[in-house]
A and B are shown apart, each in its own frame.
Chain A
Amino acid sequence: DADVTQTPRNRITKTGKRIMLECSQTKGHDRMYWYRQDPGLGLRLIYYSFDVKDINKGEISDGYSVSRQAQAKFSLSLESAIPNQTALYFCATSGKTGVEEKLFFGSGTQLSVL
């Protein structure tokens, strides 16, 4: 089983719809992240959480919200999807210091907003 599991793997939705992307992990990490990836733009941070009671905005949080339901679960919501939110979304986890700061990624969710 994967250490970081994202669902769904692919999603097509319409403008204005609310959707939720889910992430769960078995790494036992406190730190979890949501990134989006667009062609030629690398990975950009949407939200991150360092523990269950800690939620922080990343560089591109507008139009998104998150919920940290438990140490192992971190979901991303698009309240009213728009076409420019079409992208590949990754959830990731990490430890706290040194090499443990390396990110473990889920398989990604390809989201298309029509």
Chain B
Amino acid sequence: QKEVEQNSGPLSVPEGAIASLNCTYSDRGSQSFFWYRQYSGKSPELIMFIYSNGDKEDGRFTAQLNKASQYVSLLIRDSQPSDSATYLCAVTGGSYIPTFGRGTSLIVHP
């Protein structure tokens, strides 16, 4: 059983701080890694994709991948109340089937 683990939270950070969201996965053959954001009652939307070790930055978001440690993280700089949502980590391997973690709830308070 391929597993993707996330701390369910909630993670609470003050506005303007850095939010750090973490995800570990069990399948060493995993190839592609995604972070989705889901607002309450809405469908998930992709915010970051990474497939090689290291950091990938897009605006206020940075994804970090460490395949040796089977670990992927998402950093949100200058957090805003509008970033309050559930963040889902998804991983695909050789089967190309996305497996999701349970999600981490982020609360950014003014």
A42 and B92 contact, CB distance less than 8 A: no
Interface size on B, residues (CB 8 A): 23
Contact of B88 among A43, A58, A99 (CB under 8 A): A43
A40 x B34 contact (CB < 8 A): no
Interface-lining segment among B14-22, B45-53, B66-74, B77-85? B45-53
- Whether B44 lies near A105 (C-beta < 8 A) is yes
Q: How far is the CA of A26 from the CA of B92 in the complex (A)?
A: 24
Given the known interface contacts A43-B44, A98-B32, A108-B43, the answer about A103 and B98 at a Cβ–Cβ threshold of 8 Å is yes
Known: A41-B102, A96-B96, A102-B49. A107 touches B32 (CB 8 A): no
Tally of A-B residue pairs with Cβ under 8 A? 51
Q: Is the CB of A101 within 8 A of B43?
A: no
Cα–Cα, bound, A27→B82 (Å): 28
Contacts of A35 in B (CB 8 A): 100
Nearest CB of chain B from residue A95's CB, rounded to whole Å: 10
Whether A101 and B103, one on each chain, are in contact in the complex, defined by CB atoms closer than 8 angstroms, is no
Contact status A42-B96, CB under 8 Å: no
Which listed residue, A44, A45, A103, A108, touches B46 by the CB 8 Å rule?
Answer: A103
Report how far A43 CA is from B34 CA in the complex, Å: 14
Looking across the interface, which residue of chain B has its beta carbon closest to that of A88? B41
In the complex, are the beta carbons of A90 and B43 less than 8 A apart?
yes
> B residues within 8 A CB of A45?
97-99
Residues of B within 8 A of A (CB): 6, 8, 32, 34, 36, 42-46, 49, 51, 88, 90, 92, 96-103
